[in-house]
Amino acid sequence: MNLTKFKAAAVQASPVFLNAKATTDKACNIIAEAAKNGASLLAFPEVFISAYPYWNWIMTPVQGSRWYEKLYVNSINVPGPETEMLCNAARENNCHVVIGVNERGQSFGELYNTNLIIDNHGNIVGKHRKLVPTWAEKLTWTGGDGSSLKVYNTEIGPIGTLACGENTNTLARFALLAQGELIHIANYISLPVAPPDYNMAEAIKIRAAAHSFEGKVFTIVSCSTISKEIIEMMKEDVPNAEELLTRKDSAFTGFIGPNGAVIGEPLIDEEGIVYADIDLAKCIQPKQMHDILGHYNRFDIFDLRVNTAPRKNITFTDDEESLQKEK
């Protein structure tokens, strides 16, 4: 059994807002920097390429419609030119990368909130589409299906990922743990428009700690920030955008160990890259007490079924085939 030790990195940063090419360039530079500092795995924020739809929260749906069009134009195809750049950067720097993107769907105008998993050889080994867009996000993204609820085996270990609010979905998290997940990537966006008594950074940490403690895994959290550029662009329609989008404790980026404790010092609100040494052997001992995937469960009582079939929008049959089935 290969239990690896490696250095991981998580970035807290904002994209070049609504500019897929420039944000991809920025991501590639960050990959090179993290790898130079010894990272074998780098986690990026949710929909880092190339924007989170903040307009859904501070504008009416009618006002936000033109911003949706801008987002679609600056989203990407998977695979496509932007993913080729990311894959080349991962390969050239011998670094695994998990990054959030706005992915164009098959229908013109359709978008998915997608996390790409790229290995150190420059291969897209998987992608996860956010299952349920949260609250106002439903104005932007289509929900994914069970086919992307997977754990991917890599040279550094088995990686799974969920985006933002999905990390509160107990069944989705268990589905990943049951597939042998040991490295969980939880990526988020800074959300200063939450209720006044809601500490977003603390909420992110609690969710990450819950998953790590329950599953005895490492959780790597990457969160975006809101740049002055984003605020200035939002002012085009919302003059008080700075007031609405500026708030302390909106972003948390860091690492949680299998015991549920934070490793090192996380980043709160500030941009930067944080690093941690990961030793997957530390996932073993905690399971002796609580292994919800084995001895500390009752699968004769509980039965979770996951539909992993890709969703089909339409099925075509000809008349002859239909007649044969009827016979």
Is residue 326 very low, low, confident or very high in pLDDT (cuts 50, 70, 90)?
low
Q: Look at 5 and 195; give whichever has higher pLDDT.
A: 5
Per annotation, catalytic residue among 127, 130, 205, 216 = 130
Per annotation, catalytic residue among 28, 87, 164, 283 = 164
Is residue 155 very low, low, confident or very high in pLDDT (cuts 50, 70, 90)?
very high
Residue 327 has pLDDT above 60, yes or no: no
Residue 79 has pLDDT above 70, yes or no: yes
Query: Apex CA 138: angle with CA 134 and CA 139, to 5°?
Result: 135
CATH number of 5-326: 3.60.110.10
Residue 279 has pLDDT above 80, yes or no: yes
pLDDT tens for each residue of 231-270:
999 999 999 999 999 999 999 999 999 999 999 999 999 9
Nearest of 17, 11, 80 to residue 52 by alpha carbon: 17
Is residue 323 very low, low, confident or very high in pLDDT (cuts 50, 70, 90)?
low
Looking at 250-254, 298-302, 310-314, which range is the least confident one?
A: 310-314
Mean predicted confidence (pLDDT) in 131-136: 96
| pLDDT the model gives residue 315 | 87
Residue 48 has pLDDT above 60, yes or no: yes
| DSSP string for residues in 40-108 | SEEE--TTTBT---THHHHS-HHHHHHHHHHHHHT-B-SSSHHHHHHHHHHHHTT-EEEEEEEEE-SST
pLDDT tens for each residue of 117-127:
999 999 999 99
| pLDDT the model gives residue 192 | 83
Could you give the CA distance from residue 325 to residue 1 in angstroms, rounded to a whole number? 49
Is residue 3 very low, low, confident or very high in pLDDT (cuts 50, 70, 90)?
confident
| pLDDT the model gives residue 37 | 98
Could you give the CA distance from residue 110 to residue 294 in angstroms, rounded to a whole number? 40
Per the annotation, the verdict on 130 as an active-site residue is yes
Residue 12 has pLDDT above 60, yes or no: yes
Residue 139 has pLDDT above 60, yes or no: yes
Is residue 322 very low, low, confident or very high in pLDDT (cuts 50, 70, 90)?
low
Residue 170 has pLDDT above 90, yes or no: yes
Nearest of 84, 153, 160 to residue 123 by alpha carbon: 84
Residue 27 has pLDDT above 70, yes or no: yes
Mean predicted confidence (pLDDT) in 306-318: 90
Tell me the average pLDDT of the chain: 95
| pLDDT the model gives residue 129 | 98
Could you give the CA distance from residue 113 to residue 207 in angstroms, rounded to a whole number? 20
Per annotation, catalytic residue among 26, 28, 46, 181 = 46
| pLDDT the model gives residue 263 | 98
